[in-house]
Structure 1
Amino acid sequence: MKSPVGWGKRLAIVAVAALAVFSTALPHASAEQLAKILFGSQKLPAATAAKSYGFYSKGCFSGGLAIATDGPTWQAMRLSRNRRWGHPTMIRLVEKLSRDAVADGWPGLLLGDISQPRGGPMLTGHASHQIGLDADIWLTPMPDRRLSAVERENVSAISVIKKGGLTVDERIWTAAHARLLRRAASYGEVERILVHPGIKKKLCETVKGDRGWLRKVRPFWGHDYHFHIRIGCQPGSSGCKPQAATARGDGCDASLAWWFTEEPWRPNKNPDAPKARDLMTMNSLPKECRAGLEAPAPVSEATVTVGGGGTAVAAAPAAPAESITIERIVGAPPVAASAFAPTPNLGVPLPRPRPAD
């Protein structure tokens, strides 16, 4: 997820143009059609049991809920994207985090993207967020007033990383940021939290006492103005593909130090190469995704909105939890690197890499 000013306007232009061409093909999705067009056109979820199909970056889900645009302890941003949807477990977890964060002293959450109503690849932005189990939370505290619809489209989140650098900006970073991340990591459902490497480094240097929760906090490109929560495959979703296990320990080791070398920040040699979402057809996704596209929708969004006075609709019965693991996303780092070494002068530009979370 990116946060440039005017993102919502550009997304709207892309969506309108794309849907004008492809909307006549709905609801019967062929194997050759681009999945991002078909899923990006859906306004409401599939009114079936809550299930996730496939992997975080190649799948879909049904029976989703939307978090209300406004709650007592949160505000949803970029409303034009219609990405406030997720598996009921994820939506309820975000609402719970907002309440607990306020109790911890955070003013309230500004919510970024969760998923599209039926998941699937998006017209723009994320590689993941496809199965209703990912959510982005801004690192900018919620203001003490309700933002207008225009502000929610154009106000930019504030990066906590020094401009052009790799470490946190001490003028912006606070102990409250660390408490917020710790609270998010405290939930058993949360398998992983993606942050900028500089944030992980700061936590490694400053967290005292219990450091076990740091294992869930993983460094990744982008994520300097928001953090990404990922929960595991939920009961009843036998078609959901879990991730491989994270390494043991708190992650404050050579795997973190790799991010402070030149290698991960080298400019992309082929920036014009198409993204996976630009090539992904319905034939690329689990077969259940086609049925999910053609499934009937609820009567209205009001029947599937949770929080802020909305109605929470449970879609899946309880069942034994599955064991979820995390995939390794980088190659072996230099053994001699130190996670606590000063940030090197890389001698190359530090581009803002594509988010591929």
Structure 2
Amino acid sequence: MHWMKAFAAALALAALAPSAAAQDFPPPAKILFASEAAPSAGPPQSFGFYTKGCIAGAEALPIDGPNWQAMRLSRNRRFGHPDTIALIERLAGDAAQYDGWPGLLVGDISQPRGGPMLSGHASHQVGLDADIWLNPMPDRRLTLREREDISAVSVLKNDGTLFVDPEKFTPAHQRLIMRAASYPEVQRIFVHPGIKKAICEDWTGDRSNLAKVRPYYGHHYHFHIRLFCRDGSPGCKAQNAVDMKDDGCGEHLAWWLSDEPWAPAKPVTPPKKPEKPAPKPTRPAYTILSDLPAACTGVLEAPAPSPLPAAAVTPKIPLPPLAPWPEIGPVPQPRPAE
């Protein structure tokens, strides 16, 4: 894998601005972590914070289970702390048995060694985050190609408001989310404010874990499960605790449903040109490996398990069929000279 790191670093440097490349800045950390196709060997440990860290000894979610299917396999983001993988599998079984949910479509968890991603997330770096699509699993196994092409479906109304469509967001959705919130290892769950509002208004079951369901931007196509730092990971940085005495259905939710969170950012007046040339930057504007916990260097350099567990092998995704060439009509003949 070391040749892949070197190749990825070369590509990253070539893509940088000339001024950055000229100063020999190191490559972005996201390039290094995205180039790792397998987890590191050894016991599981999360290092750093959910948005700035990595994971050693990650485990892969099998692409298929009795009540789940992993999506977007080409991203290679099926990896997490073993407790995260166990929780997803448990939720899939419990929701099918008790909540009328046919199965989970599982989105991104983490990369094989965690770390920053090329696209899509700021978090999901320490193997303790997982996205669960709000689409129920179909009653058949999706092909590898379908898992790339099918999209998660928003549960919001199509009128530009913040509210859910009751035909799309059903009591079964609420049972699934509250089931996930009931597990003691879950620290919080991110949902769209409209989803939080619907659960606050409609949920008649045990509300003791409703505080864990937190409104946030996006999250109307999927909900996001976050686990507490796990035992055996002293280098994992915990997030601020949720106030379990406040179910979050009052002032906090009202703010998210107001105009303030959605107001466009005020335009920034460009600074006046300095009289003297600006000093050359001493570091790049992007995240580099040294910005992460020191242990993440060792995570990148560690060998992969040998042999690699079968679940950790990502199958080759067949390419979509090529569109047929357009039919070419008869070639027009030149007009005779007059």
For residues 61 and 129 of structure 2, what CA distance do their matches in structure 1 show? 13
Q: Tell me if the contact between 2:38 and 2:312 (Cα under 8 Å) persists in the aligned partners.
A: no
Name structure 1 gaps, 5 residues minimum: 1-16, 25-29, 272-276, 307-357
Which of 1 and 2 has higher RCO (CA within 8 Å, sep 6+)?
1
Question: What is the identity, as a one-letter code, of the residue corresponding to 1:255?
Answer: H
The residue that corresponds to 2:231 in the other structure is 235
Q: 1:112 aligns with which of 82, 107, 116?
A: 107
Q: Tell me if the contact between 1:19 and 1:41 (Cα under 8 Å) persists in the aligned partners.
A: no
Aligned counterparts, 1:98-109, within 5 A: 98-103=92-97, 104-109=99-104
For residues 154 and 173 of structure 2, what CA distance do their matches in structure 1 show? 12
The residue that corresponds to 2:72 in the other structure is 78
Runs of 4+ in 1 over 4 A off after TM superposition: 17-20, 268-271, 303-306
Name structure 2 gaps, 5 residues minimum: 1-6, 15-23, 269-283, 314-338
The residue that corresponds to 2:135 in the other structure is 140
The residue that corresponds to 1:318 in the other structure is none
Q: 1:198 aligns with which of 194, 201, 225?
A: 194
Q: 2:154 aligns with which of 155, 159, 163?
A: 159
Question: What is the identity, as a one-letter code, of the residue corresponding to 1:243?
Answer: Q
The residue that corresponds to 1:125 in the other structure is 120
Question: What is the identity, as a one-letter code, of the residue corresponding to 1:157?
Answer: A
The residue that corresponds to 2:247 in the other structure is 250
1:32 is displaced (CA, Å) by 3.0
Aligned counterparts, 1:305-316, within 5 A: 305=312
1:262 is displaced (CA, Å) by 0.9
1:304 is displaced (CA, Å) by 5.7
SS for the counterpart of 1:221 is: coil
For residues 91 and 20 of structure 1, what CA distance do their matches in structure 2 show? 34
Percentage of pairs with the same residue: 58
Aligned counterparts, 1:280-295, within 5 A: 280-295=287-302
Mapped pair 1:296 → 2:286: no
Rg larger for: 2
Residue deviations 1:194-232, cap 9 Å, x none? 000000000000112421110110000000010000001
Q: Tell me if the contact between 1:212 and 1:249 (Cα under 8 Å) persists in the aligned partners.
A: no
Q: 2:145 aligns with which of 150, 160, 166?
A: 150
Residue deviations 1:221-257, cap 9 Å, x none? 0000100000010111000000112233111010000
The residue that corresponds to 2:20 in the other structure is none
SS for the counterpart of 1:227 is: strand
1:302 is displaced (CA, Å) by 2.6
Give the TM-score of the pair, scaled to structure 2: 0.78
Give the TM-score of the pair, scaled to structure 1: 0.74
For residues 61 and 170 of structure 1, what CA distance do their matches in structure 2 show? 39
For residues 133 and 155 of structure 1, what CA distance do their matches in structure 2 show? 25
1:280 is displaced (CA, Å) by 0.7
How many aligned residue pairs are there?
A: 280
Question: What is the identity, as a one-letter code, of the residue corresponding to 1:200?
Answer: K
